[in-house]
Structure 1
């Protein structure tokens, strides 16, 4: 006889809400939010006045949570921005068991900074990685990052979410490593996360024309436009920004991974999910690079 997983998931959702972390349903045994994408919104019911994103639907209300998790064994998403959290995601390498994982890279990062590995509430992920939870610094509105701290290290803040403990996927379960308290985000980590993206671009290549001031300014402007896009225009703004920056990738003025990271973080800051951002960015960059010859190529 298979046990009903709903009571355990409901208890975990209520526990997260009791900590002040707004939660929302993810698909059963999956990491994707329930509901429809913005471009498929029927503009009826809860969306009658406009599409409601998973971040807007996240709640700490026990009655709403009980109603949702009584229907199906939903996995649990925590909206990190409204929860006042910054979660450091230490991932596992895919396909290369000998490659350093995110935890190893993070340990080396701490050692180089002369800092101990922070002690805080942590969750073992289904893939064998770790989520390290921190309270966000007062007055700061941090966005998501991908690889800014190092390979296989992402962060989730405003515009992002994490899968909560007690959720399960075909790869395994998310398990809290004890009920420990959530520590404040260390100042040295905050400094690394808030370092200006333009500075990173300017240092990314040895040749002056590879990271020109114009290219850095364009990256900053397009990313800001995407992050500030309103509902109904986010996908269009992201597509236009990726096509514009693709010309600078083709010319060699911007590295493609830097552009992808900046646009993905900006899209998530605007309320899109990573799964919604990635295909738009990839296809738009591919199109732009194919239609804009690089240096030394015939027009």
Structure 2
């Protein structure tokens, strides 16, 4: 029995998943994730307990992949962190005033020479713009996050908190194509050391006082505030959203006072945060409003 050929983009998604690399849909002919953003999250369906970023939605389940890619000709995103990958993105020169400066490939070669190492042989993809993606297996036990220009100009990396466009995906400017199908090599030690995050001071969780409430509600408030204050860079917005929605249920039942929750979450969100307090307060307000509206209030005794 012969099977009908799989559409190319579905095949690209399944091929990546078969390698153990979780995938998620990108907009057709684009490299932006499909679906809604955190700012426009309806708080329903898969996001009922908080907005799910593409990294959290990525899957290797072939049934889910077939269901998604038979709906529309999505391009394919690979969630590099969950895939156990660190991808080095070597960009090209795009502006006239960049002429005479090294592109990403030239800068990476220079970095390798400086480290006394050859350019690693590994799985390699040509991007639609003519750049290259070098795929490496990330070291065990280390969560290397995505970087932009940390190694050198025109060199970015994609790890936790990021993604790459999978080969087989197509943009108006061209396609992503495998140019070296060599097995994915382990990330070289010298490169891993250059990408390891500097030790940061531990963020102190702010103290707050709550009124008369149950031990359970107080513990829930403290735990959610701790999660927000200690959330990693790039995840604070989604962590805050989930925390506010969880605590909104306790406001709806009368177990917590809204003003106390707002003050506590606002203080936790701005500990070492990069956004303004007004931005976080807006997230808190919208999330609490949604949670209170979608949860039953305490019934009269």
Question: Under TM normalisation by the shorter chain, which class is it?
Answer: 0.5 to 0.7
Q: Contact 1:85 / 1:134 at 8 angstroms: preserved in 2?
A: yes
Q: Secondary structure at the match of 1:177?
A: strand
Q: Distance in 2 between the 1:74 and 1:51 partners?
A: 21
Classify 1:188/1:240 alpha carbon distance in 2 versus 1 (closer, same or farther; 3 Å).
Answer: closer
Give 1:11-22 correspondences, 5 Å limit: 11-22=11-22
Q: Which residue number corresponds to residue 58 of structure 2?
A: 58
Q: Distance in 2 between matches of 1:223 and 1:153?
A: 29
Cα shift at 1:62: 0.4
* Structure of higher CA gyration radius: 2
Residue of structure 2 in register with 1:29 after alignment: 29
- For structure 2, which runs of at least 5 residues remain unmatched after alignment? 201-228, 242-265, 277-301
Equivalent in the alignment of 1:241? 273
Match of 1:128 among 127, 130, 136: 130
Question: Which residue of the partner structure matches residue 77 of structure 1?
Answer: 77
The unaligned stretches of length 5 or more in structure 1 are 199-221, 245-299
Measured against aligned partners, the alpha-carbon deviations of 1:48-84 in whole angstroms (never above 9, x if no partner) come to 2221111111000001101111011100000000000
Distance 1:57 1:70 in 2: 17
Q: Against the structure 1 CA distance between its residues 184 and 166, is the aligned structure 2 distance closer, same or farther, given a 3 Å change threshold? A: same
1:147 is aligned, of 132, 146, 149, to: 149
**C-alpha distance 238-15 of structure 1, shift in aligned 2 (>3 A):** farther
- Residue 42 of structure 1 is matched in structure 2 by 42
For residues 50 and 230 of structure 2, the distance between their equivalents in structure 1, rounded to whole angstroms, comes to 24
**TM-score, structure 1 normalization:** 0.67
Matched position secondary structure for 1:233: helix
- Residue 238 (structure 2) aligns with: 231
Judge which range, 222-231 or 17-26, deviates more.
222-231
**Is residue 186 of structure 1 aligned with residue 193 of structure 2?**
no
1:101 aligned residue: 103
CA distance in 2, matches of 1:81, 1:225: 14
Offset at residue 192 of structure 1 (A):
0.5
For this pair of structures, how many residues does the alignment match? Answer: 216
CA separation of 1:163 and 1:238: change in aligned 2, threshold 3 A:
farther
Distance 1:91 1:58, change over 3 A: same
- TM-score under structure 2 length normalisation: 0.66
Please point out which of 119, 122, 132 is paired with 2:121. 119
Q: Secondary structure at the match of 1:146?
A: strand
Partner secondary structure for residue 107 of structure 1: helix
Instruction: Indicate if the aligned counterparts of 2:16 and 2:23 stay in contact, CA closer than 8 A.
Output: yes
